[in-house]
Amino acid sequence: MQPTATVLVYSDDSNTREQVRLASGRRPAPDAPLVEFLECATPAAVVKELDKGGIDVCVLDGEAAPMGGMGMCRQIKDEVFACPPVLLLIGRPQDAWLATWSRADAAVTLPVEPVEFAAALASLLRQKRALNA
């Protein structure tokens, strides 16, 4: 049986969550594990799922409301023990400095471009696997 990675996707916009799922597909790269998506529409749901554990990568929408993914990223990096890597979805390339401020591990722009997104997600999954090896 092949290993499966759990990817938490936070956005208040169901279309953004769908873009993430479709851009990645079941496997973002041939050498990456199969992925299962756990969708969250509220900050409270993100914290609840992270407290349960078992999340391999978080994808956070920087444009989400009421709390953007940048603020959420900074919060979980401060509060969650062994916080999983975070891929931040940003509105403009010029917002990359905010992604750095939030301590995101990677950032891609919205709307989600499938090749760019899948490559970034696969990279974070590889890093996570290397840390756990």
The pLDDT of residue 2 is 60
pLDDT tens per residue across all 133 residues of the chain = 468 999 999 999 999 999 999 999 999 999 999 999 999 999 999 999 999 999 999 999 999 999 999 999 999 999 999 999 999 999 999 989 999 999 999 999 999 999 999 999 999 999 988 877 6
Q: What is the C-alpha to C-alpha distance for residues 19 and 112, in angstroms, rounded to an integer?
A: 6
**H or E element, residue 32:** none
What is the reported pTM? 0.96
Q: Name the CATH superfamily for 4-132.
A: Response regulator (3.40.50.2300)
- HEC letters along 90-133: ECCHHHHHHHHHCCCCEEEECCCCHHHHHHHHHHHHHHHHHHHC
Q: What is the C-alpha to C-alpha distance for residues 107 and 117, in angstroms, rounded to an integer?
A: 9
Q: Is the dihedral of CA 40, 43, 45, 49 positive or negative?
A: positive
